[in-house]
Structure 1
Amino acid sequence: MSNVSKIDPLWTVDEVSAYLGVPVKTLYQWKWRGEGPPVRKIGRHLRYDPAAVRAWATAAA
């Protein structure tokens, strides 16, 4: 057995869109404006930490 702890995979824009119930276009607009949940750019792709998205959604509510 490995001693490496399990890490949750990062969410895609489509997964965050479904979780928050907002269009993908809105997520791109939020990133451009510096709003919305924290996002990381990995290569050409946006990725979100699920825990950070949940925390942001809770705080924004």
Structure 2
Amino acid sequence: MEISSHPSSQPGLEPMIDVRTLAEYLGVPVSTVYDWRVNRKGPVGYRFGKHIMFAVADVRTWVEEQRESSPSGRASHGR
């Protein structure tokens, strides 16, 4: 799934997505996104009143930071 910008984004402004779109993109429940926010583990969000939005660039940066350097549970054998 490609992250697409929020329908109301304007040219020249950072594209934003909402919590539901982020959860769908990452394949996690919406509650997980909220838990990450409480525990400061997820991407940086912006609060607009009662709405939480995420800049697409921040999500991409956060996703890249989650990349494992090698598959977990495997020892590197001199590589």
Q: State if a TM-score over 0.5 links the two structures.
A: yes
For structure 1, the residue ranges without an aligned partner over 5 or more in a row are none
Higher strand share: 2
Three-state SS of the structure 2 residue aligned to 1:6 is: coil
For structure 2, the residue ranges without an aligned partner over 5 or more in a row are 1-10, 68-79
TM-score with structure 1 setting the length: 0.82
Displacement of 1:6 after TM fit? 2.5
TM-score with structure 2 setting the length: 0.65
Aligned AA (1:6): G
> What is the number of residues matched between the two proteins?
57
Residue equivalent to 2:30? 24
Tell me how far apart the structure 2 counterparts of residues 29 and 53 of structure 1 sit (CA, whole Å).
Answer: 16
Aligned AA (1:38): V
Does 2:53 match 1:47? Answer: yes
Identity %: 33
Higher helix share: 1
Q: Which has the higher contact order (CA 8 A, sep 6+)?
A: 1
Displacement of 1:24 after TM fit? 0.4
Highest Rg: 1 or 2? 2
